[in-house]
Amino acid sequence: MHLVRDRAAEYGVVGVDPQKLSFDLAKAVARKDRVVAWVHSGVYKALDHNKNITFLRGQAEFSSPLDLRVDGRVITVEKSILATGSQPAPASIPGLEQAGFITNDEALKLERLPSSMIVIGAGYEGVEFAQMYARFGTRVTLLGRAPRVMPQAEPELSDMLGEILRAEGVDLHTSAEVVRAGAENGSRYVMVREGGVERRFEAELLLVAAGRIARVEGLGLQQAGVEMQGPFVQANAELRTTRDNIWSIGDANGGAMFTHRATYDGPIAALNAVKSIGRQVDYRVVPWAVFTEPALASVGIAEEQARREGKELKIGLADFASSGRAKAIGQTAGLVKLIVDAESDQLLGGHILGPHADILIHEVVATMYQHGTAESIAKSIHVHPTLSEVVKRAARSAR
């Protein structure tokens, strides 16, 4: 929608009248549902075809560390693995429940494009949904409590992403604390404390993207002897919970809450449960990505953290503006930042804002996994013209 409406003429596509374009959200959601159903069917097919797996659907609840009730059926098991995932954290803003709001779940099910939307939270989900709906044509206000969007990202990259969102029409406010919410005259509003002054923002919909907690309600963890650590399941480096015969994986444990992290956890917990080998997780190289455009991706340590730990560093920087491939595809905004140990040249972290950053980050991931150096990237031959050359230039610039 964004490319056709705002940039088609730049590529020589003529005859497109932006004023006559419209977006059918229901059709987009229906397509999304078909893709999700295809993914789910593959998972269930694999379960059904494995004779060693008995697959039960239902609400499970522990009645003891060894006994589970699944919709009234009692099952006694020697060992269990929790893979329950996460859910949106409960709203703590006064008046929000009464005003009514949606979460990321409902935001992916809407069939009518809202005229306006306030997004509360400028982390992973917040920036993705803010940009997505703004490009669809919704008037979006994005409110973040931290001084910048994606506060866990490198400052240069998150500041740049914030400016990109503003340039696309997102009304972004950082250091903005939502103090209360309500509904009035058919619309919803929030009162925000910003710079010591309260301001009122109104919109048709409120989208809350303010964190997640373990999805364990009704699971009977207390009867199982499994303790929580805050809103998450308490598990050690072997993914064993506070009960010796129960393990837990993925989002339910907190930390890096991504599908690929849960996929990494799964085999480790399974081997530990079945073979008692005591294998431990190593989260040193867990990448993450935010699927904005340009995308934001990261792995390893941040510069500020590394300096707090007393490390001597070299910093490699390269922008996409000087990339021939980025220029050709019309996506020149962005930066690659590499964190390198000054003495050993070992790559400690990589941070990318740019086109296909979610793909480019894996060159850094693979290098870091092998405790590799910036020089190994700088001296390796990269295809020209490709975006990966920007990663190579960043490695060459590390000093």
Closest CA to 130 of 150, 157, 112, 100: 150
Residue among 40, 362, 371, 384 flagged as catalytic: 384
pLDDT tens column, 145-179: 999 999 999 999 999 999 999 999 999 999 999 99
Question: What are the angstrom distances between the C-alpha of 102 and each of 2, 91, 239, 243?
Answer: 24, 11, 33, 36
Query: Pairing mode, if any, of strands 295-300 and 347-354?
Result: antiparallel
Number of H helices, E strands in the chain: 13, 21
Sign of CA dihedral 252, 256, 262, 264: negative
Structural contact between residues 31 and 53, judged by C-beta atoms closer than 8 angstroms: no
For the structural domain made of 96-210, what CATH number should be given? 3.50.50.60
Strands 86-88 and 212-214: antiparallel
The count of other CB atoms within 10 Å of the CB of residue 280 is 10
Please indicate whether residue 2 is annotated as part of the active site: no
Q: What is the mean pLDDT of the chain?
A: 96
**286-397, CATH topology level:** Enolase-like; domain 1 (3.30.390)
Strands of 347-354's sheet, edge to edge? 288-290, 295-300, 347-354, 335-341, 313-319
C-alpha 144: how far from chain center: 16
Query: Residue 202 above 90 pLDDT?
Result: yes
Does 3.50.50.60 match the CATH number of domain 62-88+213-281?
A: yes
Give the Cα separation of 279 and 281 in Å (integer): 7
Is residue 285 pLDDT above 90, yes or no? Answer: yes
DSSP letter for 6, please. Answer: I
Are the C-beta atoms of 209 and 129 separated by less than 8 Å?
A: yes
pLDDT at 231: 97
Domains 62-88+213-281 and 96-210 agree in fold: yes
Q: What is the mean pLDDT of residues 17-33?
A: 92
Assigned token pair, 267:
């085999």
Quote the tokens at residue 173.
Answer: 């406010």
Please tell me the least confidently modeled range out of 8-12, 107-111, 227-231: 8-12
Q: What is the mean pLDDT of residues 209-221?
A: 94
| 25 close to 112: Cβ distance less than 8 angstroms | yes
Spatial separation of the C-alpha atoms in residues 192 and 345, rounded to whole Å: 46
Contact 53, 47 (CB under 8 A): yes
| 185 close to 204: Cβ distance less than 8 angstroms | no
Spatial neighbors of 282 by CB under 8 A, at least 6 apart, are none
Q: How confident is the model at residue 20 (pLDDT cuts 50, 70, 90)?
A: confident
Domain locations in the chain as residue ranges: 1-37, 62-88+213-281, 96-210, 286-397
Pairwise CA distance, residues 213 & 232, whole Å? 6
pLDDT in tens, 295-324: 999 999 999 999 999 999 999 999 999 999
DSSP 187: E
Could you give the CA distance from residue 234 to residue 102 in angstroms, rounded to a whole number?
Answer: 29
What is the end-to-end Cα distance of the chain in Å, rounded?
41
> Residue 185 pLDDT > 90, yes or no?
no
Mean pLDDT, rounded, for 343-370: 97
**What's the token pair of residue 384?**
């020209």
